[in-house]
Amino acid sequence: MAATAPSSAYPFGIPFHSHSRRVDCSTSTSMFPIHADLSTISMCPRSASKGLVDQVYAQLDNDDYYREKVPTPILDMVENPLCLKNLSLQELKQLAVEIRSDLSSIMSGTQISPKASMAVVELTVAIHHVFNAPVDKILWDVGDQTYAHKILTGRRSLMTTMRRKNGLSGVTSRFESEYDAFGAGHGCSSISAGLGMAVARDIKGRRERVIAVISNWTTMAGQAYEAMSNAGYLDSNMVVILNDSRHSLLPKIEEGPKTFVNALSSTLSKLQSSKSFRRFREAAKGVTKRIGRGMHELAAKVDEYARGMMGPLGSTLFEELGLYYIGPVDGHNIEDLICVLQEVASLDSMGPVLVHVITDENQGDENSQKSDISDGQQDEGSVKSDSLDNPVRPQTYGNCFVETLVVEAEKDKDIVVVHAGLTMEPSLELFQEKFPDRFFDVGMAEQHAVTFASGLACGGLKPFCVIASSFLQRAYDQVVHDVDQQRIPVRFVITSAGLVGSDGPLQCGAFDINFMSCLPNMIVMAPSDEVELMHMVATATRINSQPICFRYPRGALVGRGYTISDGIPIKIGRGRVLVEGKDVAFLGYGSMVQNCLKAHSLLAKLGIEVTVADARFCKPLDIKLLRQLCKHHSFLVTVEEGSIGGFGSQVAQFIAVNGLLDGRIQWRPIVLPDRYIEHASPNEQLDQAGLSGHHIAATALSLLGRTREALLFMCS
């Protein structure tokens, strides 16, 4: 069958095949055919995403991938989104079923929860059916929701490599595929980036469409509203799709009102999105403007009231921000989704539009009871300690911190916790259960969390502000102006510090040492093990004159067979020597002290005795300890799991200003390299970064002139 002429409503000249089966959309005047039979699928070029082959080369476990899989005949024929253009409504529905089955099969053997992506399967199918990626720009706010998108954009065979070394990223990545218009970072960025792309398109005179998919989790962040307000002001054409999975921070969400999609709301959504209705509305606005300002304002009030009556609670908020609201739409009804999106795509001069889509994360997922593990929390403590009397050691630093804080909170009624982030660490549930009135989870509102904690401190409480390192970056202005400049005693607990394994550069906590230690009033410390962590919790509790912070990494604890006990406050700026040696001194900061001890053991086998010291504090430094190390050693090596400009730079500043570098001491820093470390296992990342015990030992051997042995250590 010959291809039809390109639709004038669609500017890219993509030919589609027309068949008899059509979606019944009575309000639609769109010229997008959404039907075809499978015989025309051969039009799809069989090639992977641009740049994908060069970027991803992890070894595939094909036997594991294909074992006991449910047949997926339609999905097997989809090489890229263009193939969806020729599928009928029934075939699209079947494709959604097959994608959901494929996701369940792929993720069943991993620690990655597919629930967020399961919820948007039909929405993803509808988006790629209606719009023309990669010409049209599709931006996702949250990486967890993009797995179906990856499958449909040429990466299905590589899904088993996700979050593995040299494998697929767990989020969208511009370096991975041309279909990923923007990297999905920490959420709330898609509207801002999408608006920038839309304005650039207008200035350049192009006609591609921009679609930003946001989650109701990310609407807790202020940037989303800043972007929507600016989008309403600039009035550039773009589509914002709000994926509402009905999550809320409210503890009794089941008692609150929920947005339901019935036949009436479905019909109203189609009417709202129809070309004729929108043109009539715009024409009416023009008439009232010509009549006079008073009539125009009255008509606007009537329009707002009427649309508020049609939409759910809160829908007029988006109208006030300048976005044309459509919804709610059933996110699992492909027919409704296609009808609405086709109408939204068919008009070239409507400004920003928000489509409110209701989804369910448990849709079609038999394994939905599997506990959620979301971006930023895959390796955090998932085993909660039910009792402080349990003699078994906590499994993660997060568990140890929370259990120690509970001990302190039972003695000090002023201790409160403020948590910010996409998902709460499971370990924090213990504190929340014991002290529900002293625990505040503000969601993705890090800026608010910092200033809120500052206000709590001003009111006489002792707030512990718990935020992951990479998320704290978003609130740095508040850390500076609302806390440090005013010397307000907020206690910052920086989680997920350093390398984070499968989350790669997205959640990597590489910069907190730098940006916290440069603040004049901030005390900056890091524990080398769980005992030191307990001491630092106790130390932070007793600091009431200035802000203080400490960081800890993901992963298992160092020690075994101990119980939680009262921490002993550490004297501010006091480090400690763990092992006495000569010639070379390792001065470790935080978790890297353990790798310094590993390097000491390796060198001891070669008859080399080195000193290992635990700095504890990055600011203020233990000046007495530094002077001793410089006096009694020829070489000083600082080791930290942070970027250039952190702990090592603080040490270098002191020893240079005080003339210690003018004598016999030579200083070498070991830090994270000046690049982003991609996702891999924690040990693989440490090797890539040059922070393993072998790399530290090799540095000492090189300083001692034993280059050959150093090379052997580097290669081992």
17 pLDDT higher than 70: no
Per the model's pLDDT, the better-predicted residue between 275 and 681 turns out to be 681
d(CA 641, CA 148): 34
Q: Is the pLDDT of residue 252 over 90?
A: no
Least confident of 144-158, 236-250, 488-502: 236-250
Average pLDDT over all residues of the chain: 80
- Report the distance separating Cα 107 and Cα 111, nearest Å: 7
In this prediction, residue 161 has a pLDDT band, given cuts at 50, 70 and 90, of confident
Closest CA to 422 of 440, 446, 402, 405: 446
**What pLDDT is recorded for position 95?**
95
Instruction: State the Cα–Cα distance between residues 559 and 481, nearest whole angstrom.
Output: 38
Nearest to 432 by CA among 411, 416, 447, 412: 416
Q: Pick the range with the lowest mean pLDDT from 9-23, 94-108, 149-163.
A: 9-23
Q: pLDDT > 70: what percent of the chain?
A: 75
Instruction: Find where tokens 């969208």 sit.
Output: 172
pLDDT at 25 over 50: no
Choose the weakest-confidence range: 348-362, 463-477, 506-520, 572-586.
348-362
User: Which residues are CB-contacts of 339 (< 8 A; sequence separation ≥ 6)?
Assistant: 23, 25, 27, 28, 270, 273
* pLDDT score at 238: 94
Q: How far apart are CA 125 and CA 338, in angstroms?
A: 9
Write the single-letter amino acid at 53: V
CB 342 within 8 A of CB 34: yes
pLDDT at 629 over 80: yes
**Do the strands 666-670 and 210-215 form a parallel or antiparallel pair, or are they unpaired?**
unpaired
> What CA–CA distance (Å, rounded) separates 373 from 364?
19
Other Cβ atoms within 10 Å of 392 Cβ, number:
11
Among 315-319, 421-425, 515-519, where is mean pLDDT lowest?
315-319
Q: Identify the band that residue 397 occupies on the pLDDT scale cut at 50, 70 and 90.
A: very high
Measured in degrees and rounded to the nearest 5, phi and psi for residue 415 equal -75, 125
* Total-model pTM: 0.77
Q: 152: Cβ–Cβ under 8 A, 6 or more apart, which residues?
A: 78, 80, 81, 84, 99, 124, 125, 128
The pLDDT of 542-556, averaged and rounded, is 94
Q: How confident is the model at residue 253 (pLDDT cuts 50, 70, 90)?
A: very low
Q: Read out DSSP for 139-154?
A: EES-GGG-HHHHIIII
Quote the tokens at residue 617: 């504090």
3-class state of residue 466 by DSSP:
strand
What does the pLDDT read at residue 20?
35
What are the structure tokens assigned to 170, written together?
Answer: 């767990």
Residue 90 confidence class, pLDDT cut points 50, 70, 90? very high
pLDDT band at 254 (very low <50, low <70, confident <90, very high): very low
The pLDDT of residue 144 is 84
Mean pLDDT value of segment 215-226: 82
3-class SS at 266?
Answer: helix
At 49, the pLDDT band (50, 70, 90 cuts) reads very low
Residue type, 525: M
- Which domains, and CATH codes, for the chain? 73-246+261-284+297-358 (3.40.50.970), 395-549 (3.40.50.970), 574-712 (3.40.50.920)
User: In this predicted structure, what is the pLDDT of residue 524?
Assistant: 98
SS3 277: helix
Q: Are 393 and 561 in contact (CB under 8 A)?
A: yes
Q: Is residue 605 over pLDDT 90?
A: yes
Tell me the average pLDDT across 279-300.
Answer: 48
At 674-714, the pLDDT tens digits run 999 998 888 999 999 999 999 999 999 999 999 888 888 88
Q: What is the pLDDT of residues 309-353, one digit of tens each?
A: 445 555 678 888 888 888 889 999 999 999 999 999 987 767 899
Using alpha carbons only, what angle is made at residue 249 by residues 244 and 254, rounded to the nearest 5 degrees?
75
Type of residue at 255? E
pLDDT at 632 over 60: yes
- Comparing 36-45, 129-138, 164-173, 274-283, the range with the smallest average pLDDT is 36-45
Report the distance separating Cα 499 and Cα 505, nearest Å. 8
Distance (Å, rounded) from C-alpha 278 to C-alpha 407?
61
Find out whether the peptide bond into 489 is cis, omega within 30 degrees of 0. Answer: no
Q: How far from chain centre, in Å, is Cα 345?
A: 29
